[in-house]
Amino acid sequence: MTIMKVENDYSGTFSCPLCKQKSRFYAHQLLYSRSHTSFYSVDCNACAKHSLWKEFIQHHNGTFKVKLIDPITSSAPSPAEDMPEDVRKDFLEASLVSIYSSKAAAALLRLSLQKLCKHLGQPGKNINEDIRALAKEEGFSQRLVKAADTVRIIGNNAVHPGEMNDEDIDDVCHGLFQLVNLIVSTAITEPKKWNDLYDKAPESKRLAAEKQDAS
């Protein structure tokens, strides 16, 4: 976030890491060490709780960028409701490390996708082959193939030198979490919902329709 100094006060609006609300804050400079690093205790106007931030870029217009130091929390989206347990574990780990490294998060999301392919009926050994097989399946739309390829390619290139620069990975990282969630909700949650609804239709009528389709 960005803090602005007005006379001796530091204030602005931010997304509070504790109450998750958009709110005004008031900051107090805590330390200006020999390494020319400032830390700020930031009070949220909405929840009255404090968070600790470190200054890392000063702009000429009197504003400066700060990074959250405490509490350790991530702005990454929460995992989709029906995300399988082993996929969710990697997804949450990616969320935690994304605070410090988008590269590490992208690589972990690729791993979570590889495990997800297994839940979608693929061997789970070679992620590219799994996605190519899913692309041939009815019900796995081109949109999902694109989402899966994006996570696969960026997750791979993020950890290979010279393929992508750090800033680009920072920019797309949040979107990769959303893509994994999209695949879970479209390939797992939606079909489950449709099946549940179908099962609520009178059984005799369903069986008659299925018999007609089969003939």
Q: How far is the CB of 43 from Zn ion (least distance, A)?
A: 9
Q: Using only C-alpha atoms, what is the Rg of the chain?
A: 23
Q: Is 215 in a helix, a strand, or coil?
A: coil
The CA distances from residue 117 to 66, 83, 112, 123, in Å, are 38, 12, 9, 8
Stretch of 16-24, 91-99, 185-193, 201-209 lying at the interface with Zn ion (CB under 5 A): 16-24
**Which residues lie across from 26 on neighbouring strands?**
11, 43
Q: Which is nearer to Zn ion, 19 or 30 (CB)?
A: 19
Q: How far is the CB of 21 from Zn ion (least distance, A)?
A: 6
Residue list 111-150, contact with Zn ion (CB under 5 A): none
21, HSE (Cβ side, Cα atoms, 13 Å): 11
Q: Which is nearer to Zn ion, 49 or 125 (CB)?
A: 49
Q: Which position among 16, 80, 94, 188 is part of the footprint of Zn ion (CB under 5 A)? A: 16
Q: Which position among 1, 4, 18, 96 is part of the footprint of Zn ion (CB under 5 A)? A: 18
Terminal alpha carbon distance of the chain? 63
Q: How far is the CB of 77 from Zn ion (least distance, A)?
A: 19
Q: How far is the CB of 44 from Zn ion (least distance, A)?
A: 3
Stretch of 9-17, 29-37, 72-80, 85-93 lying at the interface with Zn ion (CB under 5 A): 9-17
Q: Give yes or no for residue 83 binding Zn ion (CB under 5 A).
A: no
Q: Which position among 19, 57, 69, 209 is part of the footprint of Zn ion (CB under 5 A)? A: 19
Task: Determine the angle formed by the axes of helices 85-97 and 166-184, rounding to 10 degrees.
Answer: 160
Contacts of residue 2, defined as CB under 8 A and 6 or more positions apart, other chains included, come to 12, 63, 64, 65, 66
- DSSP for 8-37? TEEEEEEE-TTT--EEEEEEEEEEE-TT--
Q: Give yes or no for residue 72 binding Zn ion (CB under 5 A).
A: no
| Residues 5, 8: Cα–Cα separation, whole Å | 7
Interface characters, 31-60, with Zn ion (x: CB under 5 A): -------------x-xx-------------
Which residues are at the interface with Zn ion (CB under 5 A)?
Answer: 16, 18-19, 44, 46-47
